[in-house]
Amino acid sequence: MKPRPRVALVGGATAFSLLGDQALYAILPTYYQAMGLLPIQVGILLAANRFVRVFINHGVERLCHRYSPNWLLGGALAGGAVLSAVYALLPLFSVLLVARLLWGVCWSIIRQIGITTVVDSVEAGHLGRSMGLYSVLTRIGSVSGNFIGALGHDLIGFTGILLVFALVSGLAVPLGPLARGALHKNDERKGRVAEGARAGWGLLFGGFSLGFVGHGMILSSLGLVLKEGVGDGLHVAGFFIGVATLTGALMSSRWIVDLAAPLLGVFSDRVGRRRGGLVFFFAGAGALALAAVAPGLIWLGVSVLLFFFCAAGAGVVMAAEAGARGPRAVASYVTTSDAGACVGPLLAWTMPELDLPTELIFVWGGVFYAVAGGVAGASFDRGN
């Protein structure tokens, strides 16, 4: 099988696995009270899957060397589909918490094998472009989970939409093993990357910042920010648009922006990952500064959309840099990203608990992105 179809298959498998998970990020922040949840419980649920990954990513990397990645990937994809059904049928905090922890295990396997499959499939000079393609395909799943999940919740309810997502995810399970089926152990990467290479402090801080700001603070709290601005929703041209649908639309724009990821990857390949990381992180910091002072819903949306574009570029650069350094570096990179994504929702959701202004979410995010840009510029090799 040629590299591009292989990347397409593993990206598609990853996309379908994300449906149920991403729906929760659009639904819980706006309807947690109707489900009998407290604000801090929302933060815990949205962070739990990331929390467990902090402790298991390196174990998963070793597991992939010991056992067949084909079977591990298929099992993780099937487990994710089952857990979406659990969300739908048993929406109690204790059950959701256990399910979120188990999903963290599944996603750690899916992501580790997905990234290494892309790296195994392409030549080093095209890594940014291929990682961008993988990012596009996986983000389509996030778009669907965020927007269709939120819209489906408003139309057919929490249980209905998550059961639909569980079924669709289950049907897509064979795509993952099919993508791996044509790979031969060490065929493409042999002599190209060091299997035991360390990630380096710059890559680790960049990974933490990506998780902490984008996946952690911003995505987990957009519903909170919008609810403060528009209440339960707003009327447009005689139609009432619920705040969950608004949240899903804005969140899905994050993943729609990722459609430009292959072009961002080409930019990274041409200017080098060092310059690419510096540009994307600094521009993202500026976008968050604008969001903190945005005078209305439209300007907030524009600022957040600009940030999402920069986050997509930074994500492509970081994933390509980690992949180029080998599976051990990938495991270290995703661990720090998960650590950031775990802490982010907890910090963001302390704002309503302590009656602090939600603008501080954007301020903190901008600070971390600015520092990450400086770190990437100083620590990445100039030739990368």
- Report pLDDT digits (tens) over 162-215: 999 999 999 889 888 887 775 654 444 443 444 555 667 778 888 899 989 987
Q: For a pLDDT cut of 70, what percent of the chain falls above it?
A: 84
346 class by beta-carbon count within 10 Å (0-12 exposed, 13-18 middle, 19+ buried)? middle
Average pLDDT for the chain? 80
Q: What is residue 240's three-state secondary structure?
A: strand
**pLDDT of residue 261 exceeding 90:** no
**pLDDT of residue 135 exceeding 70:** yes
> Distances from the Cα of 370 to the Cαs of 39, 97, 188, 211, 380, in angstroms?
29, 33, 36, 14, 16
The confidence score (pLDDT) of residue 185 equals 46
Helix axes 149-171, 69-89, angle to 10 degrees: 140
Task: Output the pTM of the full model.
Answer: 0.70
Query: What is the greatest pairwise CA distance in the chain?
Result: 63
Q: Domain spans of the chain? A: 3-379
Cα 257 from Cα 255, distance rounded (Å): 5
Q: Which alpha helices (H) appear in the chain, and where do they start and end?
A: 3-17, 19-31, 39-66, 69-89, 93-121, 127-143, 149-171, 175-181, 201-209, 219-230, 243-257, 261-271, 273-292, 297-325, 327-348, 350-354, 359-379
Q: The tokens 């996986």 sit on which residue? A: 138
Cα 50 from Cα 354, distance rounded (Å): 24
CA angle 134, 335, 271 (to 5 degrees): 50
Phi, psi dihedrals of residue 37, rounded to the nearest 5°:
-105, 155
Q: Does domain 3-379 have CATH number 3.90.1150.10?
A: no
The confidence score (pLDDT) of residue 190 equals 41
Structure tokens at 12: 């598609």
